[in-house]
Amino acid sequence: MDFNPCMKHKVVRQAVRDFAETEIAPVVYDLDREARFPWDIIEKMRPLNFFGLQVPKAYGGAEVDGISYAITIEELSRVSAAIGLCISVHNSVGAYPISAFGTAAQREKFLPALGRGERIGAFCLTEANAGSDAGGVETQAVREEDGFIINGTKIFVTNGGVCGLSLVFAVTPQEQGARGGSVFMVEKETPGFSVGEIEDLCGMRANPVSSLFFENCRVPLENLLGRVGDGMKIGLAALDTGRIGIAAQALGIAQGAFDASVKYAKERHQFKKPIAAFQTIQNYLADMATEIDAGRLLLYRACAFKDEGRPFGTEAAKAKLFCSRLASRVTNLAVQIHGGYGYSKEYDVERYFRDAKVTEIYEGTSEVQRVVIARGVLSQPR
């Protein structure tokens, strides 16, 4: 077992960190404050394969290994959780399901544009009455001769305001054996598709999370991903990789808050010495460092399982549960270490603190992760 990062992963981390610190960090405060999606930065990210991380090379993607993927999301999120979120969602639940479940024609049609970031991907599951319980989905797709007509409203769609292609989870009540729901690919130009208001959220404010409306939205047959009734299967598979992304994101937020705290604790003097000299602060930093380390090991193990082609759902769920919770704890301590300044928008930890919470909520709440983990635990032969 080798715990040293290999040279490639070190270089990938450095490259993404360099990009994030040079191009994103200077504006991250403005983006958050103005709830602005940074198209200019996205433009710079496109040729660097940020949008094609998991897209196969054959379709112009970078097809990076799982740990490189996690490191990329981690380093983006260390600077801007909202941009890390955009990339994570686009890759894991936007592009990945098409690579995994799409036909050759579908991949040919959608993956190159997704991989180049010309279309930003989104995955629409949540509705007013359906969150963790996908059984409550009311959006309907009705079969017509040459396609389906979709009607319904999705809420809290990450990347919603900017998505060029949304993967829509809908029920198809008329179809035989369609209990699992189905996934449809809806391009933004489709008549009847519209974007609702951007949500006014506590954190991740630079990501245009919004509602999406589907009013008699007609999509051709070839926009059905997999078969009718495959929805739940696709959704669960997408969420498995999605969890790696969110765990990486949570870890990145925690790392950013931790780095800021170490720096601050060394700089800030009280009672004529740096606060880092006080044991209470040292205890905080020690706890933060330990949790981050533990989370990283859990996460990279899930990634390694994925790269080896082994089942990794339980590992990803453990990583997501642990990393999102540690992100909340670590950012909370980071604000505490910063004292009054930490509560001010002048310091980054205030933003990390707000951004961290939602990682415990989306792509499966912590409660749902435990269900997944428990299922894995209980199904093990003893």
- Considering the complex, what minimum distance in angstroms separates the CB of residue 64 from other proteins? 5
Q: Which residues of 283-321 are buried (b: 16+ CB within 10 A; e: fewer)?
A: ebbeebeebbeebbebbbbbbebbeeeeebbbbbbbbbb
Residue 50 near residue 87, CB atoms below 8 Å: yes
- Considering the complex, what minimum distance in angstroms separates the CB of residue 329 from other proteins? 25
Quickly count helices (H) and strands (E) in the chain: 12, 10
- Considering the complex, what minimum distance in angstroms separates the CB of residue 8 from other proteins? 4
Pairing of strands 210-220, 224-225: unpaired
- Whose Cβ is closer to other proteins: residue 7's or residue 105's? 7
- Considering the complex, what minimum distance in angstroms separates the CB of residue 261 from other proteins? 14
Two structure tokens written together for 303 = 């990634």
- Considering the complex, what minimum distance in angstroms separates the CB of residue 264 from other proteins? 8
How many C-beta atoms surround the C-beta of residue 368 within 10 A?
18
Residue 260 near residue 335, CB atoms below 8 Å: no
Catalytic residue among 74, 118, 363, 367: 363
- Considering the complex, what minimum distance in angstroms separates the CB of residue 182 from other proteins? 32
Two structure tokens written together for 295 = 């989370």
- Distances 34 to 88, 178, 255, 345 between C-alpha atoms, Å: 22, 43, 24, 13
Question: Distance (Å, rounded) from C-alpha 207 to C-alpha 230?
Answer: 29
Three-state secondary-structure class, residue 14: helix
- Whose Cβ is closer to other proteins: residue 229's or residue 339's? 339
- Considering the complex, what minimum distance in angstroms separates the CB of residue 85 from other proteins? 18
Q: Which H/E stretch holds residue 143?
A: strand 140-144
Question: Distance (Å, rounded) from C-alpha 9 to C-alpha 70?
Answer: 10
- Considering the complex, what minimum distance in angstroms separates the CB of residue 19 from other proteins? 5
Find the DSSP H helices in 132-230.
none
Three-state secondary-structure class, residue 159: coil
- Whose Cβ is closer to other proteins: residue 87's or residue 247's? 87
- The residues near 166 (Cβ < 8 Å, ≥ 6 apart) are 121, 122, 123, 124, 154, 157, 160, 185, 186, 188, 193, 212
Q: Which of 30, 71, 4 is nearest to 351 (CA)?
A: 30
- Whose Cβ is closer to other proteins: residue 273's or residue 375's? 273
- Whose Cβ is closer to other proteins: residue 64's or residue 373's? 64
Residue 207 near residue 42, CB atoms below 8 Å: no
For this structure, is 363 an active site residue? yes
Contact residues: other proteins, CB under 8 A? 7-8, 10-12, 14-16, 18-19, 25-27, 29-30, 44, 47-50, 52-53, 57, 61-65, 68, 72, 264, 267-269, 341, 346
- Distances 14 to 6, 7, 75, 167, 307 between C-alpha atoms, Å: 13, 11, 9, 33, 22
The alpha carbons of the chain give a radius of gyration, in whole angstroms, of 21
Residues forming the active site: 363
